[in-house]
Structure 1
Amino acid sequence: MASERIIENKHQKKNDPFMSILTFHCRLLRCVLRCFKDTTISYPATRHDYTKLEDPQREYTNTKRTIILDLDETLVHSTTQLPGVRYDFMVMVKMESEIMPIFVVTRPGVTEFLERLGESYKVVVFTAGLEDYASQVLDKLDKNGVISQRLYRDSCTEVNGKYVKDLSLVVGKDLGNALIVDDNPSSYSLQPENGVPIKAFVDDLKDQELLKLAGFLESCYVYEDMRDAVQDLLAN
């Protein structure tokens, strides 16, 4: 389908030789995520054994921590055909010599989710979608200018035919102060400890995953290293 040239490849095989060079945490992450595939993810708000910052807001008054968001099937679902539910808006994208309409269904709660994150975090979108498509979607999605940085397919690293998002392009070596939210674990296989899994969104208009996730991400400020929050998430 034509949309496959625009939107992230969400249907790549999970068995990847690249995984053999990843750490034990990555392999564990993959194993756990299979259990999340068709279930609702429960995001813990607290833990009992972390090292807590005495005053996290004071500590990060000048430098916000970073939340990196995937686009397709995380914030929106897009299709070249009329979806089975009401779509929120449409963008026009040039594919080869044709101008094609792309119908976009936004995930319930996305506006509130972005606004809540923007109060505490630097919000970045890192998508494997092409810029012509993704930039139009983000212009309509982020009318309040919460998203401070956008990265598209040309910023991805191709590994064994898969588009992988290298978080160091956003935060350099400061990986303890950043998390990525993505429905595709392959996307953050270079830094699996930073990945927050989320159930893929297609057309469930009763979906509440973003609002539940917002509460979890807001609680991450009490961790000295945000990757510890992910470990707690996967342990529950």
Structure 2
Amino acid sequence: MSILKFHCRLLRCVSRCFTATTICYPATIHDYTKVEDPQTEYNNKKRTIILDLDETLVHSTTQLPGVRYDFMVMVKMEREIMPIFVVKRPGVTEFLERLGENYNVIVFTAGLEDYASQVLDKLDKKGVISQRLYRDSCTEVNGKYVKDLSLVVGKDLGSALIVDDNPFAYSLHPENGVPIKAFVDDLRDQELLKISEFLGSCYVYEDMRDAVQDLLAN
């Protein structure tokens, strides 16, 4: 097997399926209620934020990236071990720590466990992430990987949001999706800061899907 073919096969294994297709959010307006007093008993219940991994928190590549990489993991592929170079999105450490103060933080990735678990071990040194779901937990739709949020929160979908650069990944629950620009190697990227500020305001909503509607309307 040539090196080029080997690299291509490895990339298909460690990368989740991405599509540039724009998801049209439903026009139906739900009767969600905005909480006037953010200190109510319901509002103090800890909510859940589900995070994608690749191109949301980090960018990984089998070749040396154009910028300095933060760490490297080794992934076994057909009797050989290949290096994967990982670039952390700017502010990701602070982002995770801030989320952990108020939310249950879960990572749901379409990446394979062998790869993604190593990345998360290095990324989450303080143990903020309470649960990890990998490709084997995804639902395959037309050959693409979709994340079913009910596996995480059951029927209580109003208590959870997912941050993902790929809208198709949360197409089963589009009202729960917080879109984020895909990260590759822009070390001036400020997307996590913006998302952190948005998520910090979600506690004024009884149903966090209403917060997403307000975000997309602005």
TM-score by length of 2: 0.89
Question: Partners in 1 of 2:61 and 2:182 — Cα distance?
Answer: 14
Displacement of 1:14 in angstroms is 2.4
Structure 2 counterpart of 1:79:
61
Where do 1:19-98 residues align within 5 Å? 27-28=24-25, 51-56=34-39, 58-61=41-44, 63-98=45-80
- Contact 2:38/2:203 (<8 A) preserved: no
Displacement of 1:52 in angstroms is 1.6
Residues 142 and 105 of structure 1: CA distance in aligned 2, closer, same or farther (over 3 Å): same
Where do 1:2-13 residues align within 5 Å? 2-10=10-18, 12=19
Where do 1:125-136 residues align within 5 Å? 125-136=107-118
Structure 2 counterpart of 1:233:
215
Percent of matched pairs sharing the same residue: 77
Q: State which of 142, 158, 177 in structure 1 corresponds to 2:159.
A: 177
Residues 57 and 218 of structure 1: CA distance in aligned 2, closer, same or farther (over 3 Å): farther
Structure 2 counterpart of 1:110:
92
Work out whether 1:119 is the aligned partner of 2:116. Answer: no
SS in 1 for 2:201: helix
Question: Partners in 1 of 2:21 and 2:143 — Cα distance?
Answer: 12
1:180-210 alpha-carbon deviations (Å, 9 max, x no partner): 0000000000000000000000000000100
1:106-138 alpha-carbon deviations (Å, 9 max, x no partner): 000000000010000000000000000000000
Give aligned pairs, total: 205
Opposite residue 14 of structure 2, the aligned amino acid is I
- Contact 1:107/1:207 (<8 A) preserved: yes
SS in 1 for 2:24: helix
Displacement of 1:4 in angstroms is 2.1
Indicate the RMSD between aligned Cα atoms, in angstroms. Answer: 1.7
Displacement of 1:166 in angstroms is 0.1
Structure 1 counterpart of 2:183:
201
Structure 2 counterpart of 1:35:
none
Deviates more, 1:92-101 or 1:146-155: 92-101
- Contact 1:93/1:101 (<8 A) preserved: yes
TM-score by length of 1: 0.83
Displacement of 1:224 in angstroms is 0.6
Opposite residue 54 of structure 1, the aligned amino acid is D
Displacement of 1:211 in angstroms is 1.0
Deviates more, 1:93-102 or 1:120-129: 93-102
- Contact 1:176/1:226 (<8 A) preserved: yes
Structure 2 counterpart of 1:14:
21
SS in 1 for 2:67: coil
Displacement of 1:232 in angstroms is 0.7
Question: Partners in 1 of 2:79 and 2:196 — Cα distance?
Answer: 41
Divergent runs of 4+, >6 A:
none
Structure 2 alignment gaps of length 5 or more:
1-7, 27-31
- Contact 2:111/2:135 (<8 A) preserved: yes
Residues 224 and 139 of structure 1: CA distance in aligned 2, closer, same or farther (over 3 Å): same
- Contact 1:56/1:221 (<8 A) preserved: no
Structure 1 alignment gaps of length 5 or more:
16-25, 30-48
